[in-house]
């Protein structure tokens, strides 16, 4: 399965790259990432929450690093989730900050059945990455992750209250706004 997503962060390229490339920062904005530890040889160990209280772990190594433009990685050894991907950082047009583009390829535990089970429990990989990127943007632009009263449990997706999509307000025949 492949996932692609992008976002513009209103911060300088060097700062955005530096924050992301320090893997110990990733659990701060990646909802399912519980912990990333980096060994002296540069290999990182990832612990991630899965559906229905499960956890998956793997080791990864950076296979390409071109500061402040590219980070590319792949899992190594007997990973619970074989994965690889890249994050590319470019200057946004009009001096608007930095564009961050994420590409992730992975094989879910249990293959296609595992993917279907994850989706059954509301785990949509593309939406997860897009949500993580929004939180990344918030952390870099504001220093914190904005929370609504609908998510008092914090940033972990499993703790958040699902909210209905907003609907447009309808106008009554008298011209006053009302709930239709």
Domain hosting 12: range is: 2-22+60-144
Q: 22 pLDDT exceeds 90? A: yes
Between CA 66 and CA 71 the distance in angstroms is 7
Q: Is residue 83 part of a domain?
A: yes
The region that residue 143 occupies, defined by phi over 0 for left and psi between -120 and 50 for alpha, beta otherwise, is: left
% of the chain at pLDDT higher than 90: 57
Output the pLDDT for position 23: 96
The pLDDT of 161-173, averaged and rounded, is: 45
CATH number at residue 130: 3.30.530.20
Q: 63 — phi, psi (to 5°)?
A: -105, -10
pLDDT in tens, 31-41: 999 999 999 99
- Domain for residue 38, yes or no? no
Q: Is 141 helix (H, G, I), strand (E, B) or coil?
A: helix
In a domain, 104, yes or no: yes
- Do the domain assignments include residue 27? no
Residue 47 within any structural domain of the chain: no
* pLDDT tens-digit readout, 48-92: 987 778 888 999 999 999 999 999 999 999 888 889 999 999 999
- Helix, strand or coil for residue 33? strand
> Is 157 within the bounds of a domain?
no
pLDDT tens digits for range 95-137: 999 999 999 998 866 666 566 555 544 568 889 899 999 999 9
- Whether residue 70 contacts residue 89, with contact meaning beta carbons closer than 8 Å, is answered with yes
3-state secondary structure of 135: helix
Tell me if 43 is assigned to some domain: no
Q: How many domains does the chain have?
A: 1
């Amino acid at each position: 399965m492949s996932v692609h997503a992008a976002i513009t962060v209103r911060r300088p390229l060097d700062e955005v790259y530096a924050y992301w490339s320090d893997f110990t920062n990733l659990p701060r904005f990646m909802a399912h990432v519980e912990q990333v530890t980096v060994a002296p040889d540069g290999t990182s160990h990832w612990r991630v929450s899965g559906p229905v209280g499960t956890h998956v772990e793997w080791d990864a190594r950076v296979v390409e690093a071109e500061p402040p433009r590219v980070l590319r990685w792949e899992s190594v050894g007997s990973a619970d989730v074989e994965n690889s991907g890249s994050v590319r950082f470019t200057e946004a047009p009009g001096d608007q900050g930095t564009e961050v583009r994420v590409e992730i390829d992975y094989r879910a535990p249990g293959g296609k059945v595992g993917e279907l089970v994850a989706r059954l429990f509301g785990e949509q990989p593309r939406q997860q990455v897009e949500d993580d990127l929004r939180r990344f943007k918030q952390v870099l632009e504001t220093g914190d992750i904005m929370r609504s009263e609908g998510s008092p449990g914090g940033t972990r997706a499993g703790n958040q209250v699902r909210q209905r999509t907003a609907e447009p307000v309808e106008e009554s025949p008298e011209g006053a706004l009302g709930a239709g």
